[in-house]
Amino acid sequence: MAKIDEIRQAQLLNYALGESTPAERAELERLLKTDAALLAELEEIRATIGLAEEALLREPIPKLPPRMLEHLRSEMQRRPERAPGLFGFSANRYVALAAAAVLVIVVGVVFRNSLTEGPAPFKVARETQPEPQIESAPPAGLLDADAGAAPESKEDAMPIGQKIEAFIIAGSQNDFTLTVAQELTKGVPAPAAPGAELAKDTAQGVPKAAMKKSARSDNAPAAPEENAAEGAGAEAPRARPARIAMMATAITIPSTDSLLALRGSESAMADCLRDGFEADALLTVRVTIGVGETPSKVETVSANKMPLRDRACIAETVENTKFTGAPEGASFTLTIKPLEN
Amino acid sequence: MTALHWANKWIQEYGGRLLRYAKKLLGNEELAQEVVQDTFLRFLKMKREDIEDKLPEWLFHVCRNRAIDVMRRKKPGVSIEDAELKDTSSSALELLEGNERVRKMLGEINKLPKAHQEIIRLKFQEGLSYEQIAKVTGLSSSNVGFILSTSLKKVREGLGGYADEKGGRGGKN
């Protein structure tokens, strides 16, 4: 019997398993008609396949434990809107997309104005030197975009942990950002000033002190106007929820690795990346993490590449992720922009 | 079929199979359950249209990555090749009393490198195609085919004449 090389054996296996290409199949069938050794080899391969299947299929399929099934059922019931395909998009995603559309319009108007009328009507707030004029004249479009519903009624309508708290737009001629702050399930007690600051932002629907460029600025000293507003504010200090701030340029895509760092390697974010079998395009992701009222720790995670096609998955995962590993009072700023060449 | 029914159907159909797969990867029942639960929680967060046409390989792929995460948590730097690819909770061989050929076949499969065992199981136990296995493992389809071929050759050599006593199944072509 002629020795059959490994390549031919692999071709025979492919043939026996129905994995041959049409060309391979045609060639093998032609050879099998005249080559008895090849035919014998094919029969041996088939016998081995049959025995392997018989052996492996006898291994019992375990059952999922009842408590796991119960957990999965409750998860399906708890978030029916997250069940695959039920709505396609989550409500938060619709809101975020609408906000992104508003942002693009506002940015276009502001940029055009800045070219024709001099300085931009609003700037990114500096954490070290708050600029009162930032608060003084937000564009009308911005006010309209944010004042769609009374903040109190919004809070009543949506449970903490599921809602997008506010849309904050900040920008300059070259750097426009959209921040989506999302309240988490677990609030953390906060001193009066930040609590009132948050309440004021929400109550007025104006991107006041929250017009900040990074997580650090979330905790920066309030601007004079903010302090004045606090003095007149009717709301008592309240528990301030930990917040995630997602800052994106034109698109709203949260990051992965900052959250991965917080939650360890088991983060669902990791799989979001891994599950993208192909990457059509890449984004850079920069993450800043600020902790504490006066940030004692500010980290900038180096830019990472993220497959564009996974953005929906990543966005949805971030919306649903509970940041149990996050320190109290932490806020996160995720800045995403197209990959620089 | 509603989305919930659809999701439930897949959990019922693939839950046990993923658990068996994860147990082989991890050699630990509890960790395997954790991995499978995480896999399905991920599944429930996905949009149906994003995964529907590739769901079996997607489930095994996520399950595998989760298992690797768990392995690395236990032992940083570990790979599938290093992992104990065996089910310690129940011996499949013990369930095959009286069938010497099948018992010997499983014994030969268990002698293969761990990564090769995984591919053999994905093919002959889970019925995945080369392309699906490639997506689960990150290998190329041709590499999957070659590994299967060399692995089966070793198994045949180990079996001696056992495989030939059993009539093979017909080829698909």
Name the pLDDT band for B80 (thresholds 50, 70, 90): low
Which residue in chain A is spatially nearest to B134 when comparing CA positions? A277
Interface test with B, best of A8, A48, A269, A278 (most B CBs within 10 A): A48
pLDDT at B106 over 60: yes
Q: How many CA atoms lie within 13 A of A26 on its CB side?
A: 3
Could you tell me what percent of chain B has a pLDDT over 90? 51
Could you tell me what percent of chain A has a pLDDT over 70? 24
**CB-based contact, B26 to chain A, within 8 Å:** no
Mean per-residue pLDDT of chain A: 49
Chain B residue numbers with beta carbons less than 8 Å from the beta carbon of A43 are 168
Q: What is the pLDDT of residue A19?
A: 93
Chain A residue numbers with beta carbons less than 8 Å from the beta carbon of B17 are 61
pLDDT mean over A307-334: 42
CB–CB of B70 and A266 under 8 A?
yes
pLDDT at A5 over 60: yes
How many CB atoms sit inside 10 A of residue B144's CB? 24
Mean per-residue pLDDT of chain B: 82
Q: What is the pLDDT of residue B65?
A: 92
Q: What is the pLDDT of residue B79?
A: 55
pLDDT at A38 over 60: yes
Q: How many CA atoms lie within 13 A of B23 on its CB side?
A: 21
Which phi and psi (to 5°) does residue A246 adopt?
-105, 110
Predicted model pTM: 0.48
What are the pLDDT digits (tens) for B140-154?
998 999 999 999 999
Q: How many CA atoms lie within 13 A of B72 on its CB side?
A: 11
pLDDT mean over A242-257: 32
Q: What is the pLDDT of residue B126?
A: 94
Q: What is the pLDDT of residue A7?
A: 86
Q: Which pair of structure tokens corresponds to residue A4?
A: 């059959």
Chain A residue numbers with beta carbons less than 8 Å from the beta carbon of B14 are none
For residue A138, the Cα-to-chain-centroid distance in whole angstroms is: 28
Q: What is the pLDDT of residue B137?
A: 92
Q: What is the pLDDT of residue B76?
A: 59
Could you tell me what percent of chain B has a pLDDT over 70? 78
pLDDT at B131 over 60: yes
Q: What is the pLDDT of residue B67?
A: 92
pLDDT at A76 over 60: yes
Q: What is the pLDDT of residue A26?
A: 93
CB–CB of A268 and B48 under 8 A?
no
Q: What is the pLDDT of residue A100?
A: 72
CB–CB of A18 and B172 under 8 A?
yes
Distance in angstroms (rounded) separating the CA atoms of residues A198 and A48: 69
User: Shortest Cα distance from A124 to chain B (angstroms)?
Assistant: 35
More confident residue, A326 or B153: B153
Distance in angstroms (rounded) separating the CA atoms of residues B1 and B6: 6
pLDDT at A62 over 70: yes
CA triple A264-B52-A338, angle to 5 deg: 55
How many CB atoms sit inside 10 A of residue B165's CB? 11
| Highest mean predicted confidence (pLDDT) among A164-168, B113-117, B157-161 | B113-117
Closest CB from B38, B45, B70 relative to A320: B45
Which of A27-41, A241-255, A299-313 bottoms out in mean pLDDT, i.e. has the lowest?
A: A241-255
Q: What is the pLDDT of residue B11?
A: 92
Closest CB from A17, A43, A88 relative to B47: A88
A42-46 long-range Cβ contacts below 8 angstroms, 24+ apart:
A42/A12, A42/A15, A42/A16, A42/B171, A43/B168, A44/B156, A44/B163, A44/B164, A44/B168, A45/A9, A45/A12, A45/A13, A45/A16, A45/B152, A45/B168, A46/A16, A46/B168, A46/B169, A46/B170, A46/B171
pLDDT at B132 over 50: yes
pLDDT mean over B9-31: 92
User: Shortest Cα distance from B139 to chain A (angstroms)?
Assistant: 12
DSSP B92: G
- The complex scores an ipTM of 0.84
**CB-based contact, B69 to chain A, within 8 Å:** yes
Q: What is the pLDDT of residue A269?
A: 36
Q: What is the pLDDT of residue B22?
A: 94
CA triple B142-B144-B149, angle to 5 deg: 95
Q: Which of residues 231-290 of A touch B (CB under 8 A)?
A: 264-266, 268, 270-271, 274-275, 277
DSSP A81: G
More confident residue, A7 or A330: A7
Chain B residue numbers with beta carbons less than 8 Å from the beta carbon of A16 are 168, 171-173
What are the pLDDT digits (tens) for A229-249?
333 333 334 433 333 333 322
**CB-based contact, A42 to chain B, within 8 Å:** yes
More confident residue, A59 or A296: A59
pLDDT at B51 over 70: yes
**CB-based contact, A150 to chain B, within 8 Å:** no
Q: What is the pLDDT of residue B103?
A: 87
User: Shortest Cα distance from A75 to chain B (angstroms)?
Assistant: 8
User: Shortest Cα distance from B111 to chain A (angstroms)?
Assistant: 14
Name the pLDDT band for A93 (thresholds 50, 70, 90): low
Which of A115-119, A137-141, A327-331, B56-60 bottoms out in mean pLDDT, i.e. has the lowest?
A: A137-141
